[in-house]
Amino acid sequence: MSRVALIGGTGALGLVPDDVREKRRMDTPYGPPSGPVMHWMQGDTELLFLPRHGSGVTIPPHCVNYQANIWALHELEPDWVLGINAVGGIHAAATPGRLVFPDQLIDYTWGRAHSFVDAMDVPVRHVDFTLPISAALHERLATTARQLALDFMPSGVYGVTQGPRLESAAEIDRLERDGCDVVGMTAMPEAGLARELGLDYAICAVVVNFAAGRGSGGDIHAEIEASMEQGMRQVATLLPALLPH
Ligand code: HPA
């Protein structure tokens, strides 16, 4: 039997089937994760779903206990972990509703507990983060999305900002100069912590708005709502096809 973990961001709770009752409350040396881990079977695969922002979506990106979330999932020994993250599009091809599978990250966050190497009595260890995303899982995402003819960008650089506010137009210009294609608030320290624990981790980002200063500048919240629905429908199509058959 295989086991796959999803860390669902805003809008992703809809991926959990309505009849799922199994919820596992966990605790870790870093405190409890954002919420109980829901789990269900799909064919031969056990799916685990951890709501990144809590079951009631009340934990903002800078307050998420990323250490507890990653530790808890690591304890459940998944074969791989997929983060599902809402992002703003910077690159002209990163349009709302489209999926992006980032292969690189730039971390602009600050003040978050970003490592398990965080106490004086823990041996110092520098994990290799040249490729922050599991190459094999990234390849699987892109190949499967291509087979399903989904609307997606196969790679890109995800700039991770602190939030919870959105960025200024000048901040987005700077991120673009740095090479960022999309911007979101949650991929770090999640990806770094996953690497420290040796988890196979990749990201399926859903573009829900044009980043600040891009697009036509309409009502951003209406844009987010409409694109989230469209993007999540694509994620719901992608997920079952990703699982081992
Ligand atoms: N900026 C940062 N995070 C986001 C955005 C954005 O425009 N959209 C969704 N998450």
Pairwise CA distance, residues 171 & 61, whole Å:
18
Which residue's CA is the nearest one to ligand 1's atom 3? 184
Q: How confident is the model over 68-120, as pLDDT tens digits?
A: 999 999 999 999 999 999 999 999 999 999 999 999 999 999 999 999 998 77
Most confident of 11-15, 20-24, 80-84: 80-84
pLDDT at 220: 86
Q: Establish whether residue 189 lines the binding site of ligand 1, counting it when its CB lies within 6 angstroms of any ligand atom.
A: no
71 located within any domain: yes
Among 64, 85, 87, 204, say which to mutate for ligand 1: greatest number of ligand atoms within 8 Å of CB.
87
Query: Which residues 6+ apart lie within 8 Å of 130 measured at CB?
Result: none
- pLDDT band with cut points at 50, 70 and 90 for residue 3: very high
164 near 140, Cβ under 8 Å?
Answer: no
Which residue's CA is the nearest one to ligand 1's atom 7? 88
pLDDT at 123: 81
123 located within any domain: no
Q: Which atom of ligand 1 is nearest to the CA of 211?
A: 7
Q: Where are the beta strands (DSSP E) in 173-237?
A: 182-184, 201-210
Which residue's CA is the nearest one to ligand 1's atom 5? 88
| DSSP, res 14 | G
Neighbours of 26 (CB within 10 A): 17
Q: How confident is the model over 169-225, as pLDDT tens digits?
A: 999 999 999 999 999 999 999 999 999 999 999 999 999 999 999 988 778 888 899
183 Cα to the center of ligand 1, angstroms: 6
85 near 156, Cβ under 8 Å?
Answer: no
Q: How confident is the model over 119-140, as pLDDT tens digits?
A: 777 788 899 999 999 999 999 9
238 located within any domain: yes
Q: Round the average pLDDT of the chain to a whole number and report it.
A: 95
126 located within any domain: no
pLDDT at 216: 83
Q: Give 56 or 95, the one with higher predicted confidence.
A: 95
Pairwise CA distance, residues 168 & 16, whole Å:
34
pLDDT at 215: 86
Q: Which pair of structure tokens corresponds to residue 117?
A: 């190497």
Q: In DSSP terms, which residues pair with 85 in a beta bridge?
A: 205
124 located within any domain: no
List the domain range (segments joined by +) for residue 79: 2-112+131-242
Q: Which pair of structure tokens corresponds to residue 81?
A: 């972990």
pLDDT at 99: 98
122 located within any domain: no
CATH classification at residue 46: 3.40.50.1580
Q: Establish whether residue 86 lines the binding site of ligand 1, counting it when its CB lies within 6 angstroms of any ligand atom.
A: yes
pLDDT at 235: 98
125 located within any domain: no
199 Cα to the center of ligand 1, angstroms: 25
Q: Establish whether residue 182 lines the binding site of ligand 1, counting it when its CB lies within 6 angstroms of any ligand atom.
A: no
Q: Establish whether residue 186 lines the binding site of ligand 1, counting it when its CB lies within 6 angstroms of any ligand atom.
A: no
What is the count of structural domains for the chain? 1
85 located within any domain: yes
